[in-house]
Amino acid sequence: MNDDKIERNRQDMQRKVDQIRTETPDLNHEARRRMIQEAYDAAMESHWGLVREREAATQKQILDLEGEIFGIHFPHDARTGVEKESIRLSYRDASFHVSGMEAEDLERVLARAERTGDKQLARAAYHEGTERGFSRVADAYLRERPEEGRRWEKYAEARTRAELPAALDAFPPPKPAEL
């Protein structure tokens, strides 16, 4: 996990600084300070590299999950391009149909789609409700789909991680007293 690497980087820098302090008694203050500065600079470079690495991994996870959540799902028996295009067309039509609907209307459309087995209309209503922040619509859709609910939770966690500065980002290696 990247957070472990960030913490290890902090600890490694502290060990190096402690080692410089204790194992170089013959160096003057300025030489010791330069060595500590080099250790600190290397640790800071590593820290921000690890932060960027974690951010890139989070963004990739978000994109992957968005594709799974908002993508069109094909039944296993849809094998030909024609069958898949027909499903895409059905979803597209349903999506345009529900676009801009208010929450109450989306809830009714979702309930009707669920009753009639119209998977594309149900999914389009879910997507519209989700994108517009209508949690009752999304919750109603996910209630019967635990796997998609877990996927949504992973997506929400990744979005939160991406939008809020992580606690470890706020705490890069501490600047040694000599600097």
- Per residue in 114-162, pLDDT (tens digit) is 999 999 999 999 999 999 999 999 999 999 899 999 999 999 988 887 8
Give the Cβ contact number of residue 169 at 10 Å: 16
User: What are 31-78's pLDDT values in tens digits?
Assistant: 999 999 999 999 999 999 998 888 888 899 999 999 999 999 888 888
The two tokens of residue 122 are: 């149900």
**Cα separations in angstroms, 164 against 58, 99, 101:** 12, 30, 31
d(CA 46, CA 165): 18
Q: What is the pLDDT of residue 16?
A: 96
Domain boundaries defined on the chain:
1-179
- Measure the CA–CA gap between 130 and 124, rounded to whole angstroms: 10
> What is the pLDDT at residue 94?
96
Choose between 162 and 86: higher pLDDT.
Answer: 86
C-alpha to C-alpha distances, 45 to 28, 84, 169, nearest whole angstrom: 26, 48, 13
Q: What is the per-residue pLDDT for 33?
A: 93
Q: Interhelix angle for 119-131 vs 103-116, to 10°?
A: 160
* Burial (CB count within 10 angstroms: exposed 0-12, middle 13-18, buried 19+), residue 60: exposed
Residues in the chain: 179
User: Token pair for residue 140?
Assistant: 């109603």
Q: Is the pLDDT of residue 167 over 70?
A: no
Residue showing tokens 């080099």: 38
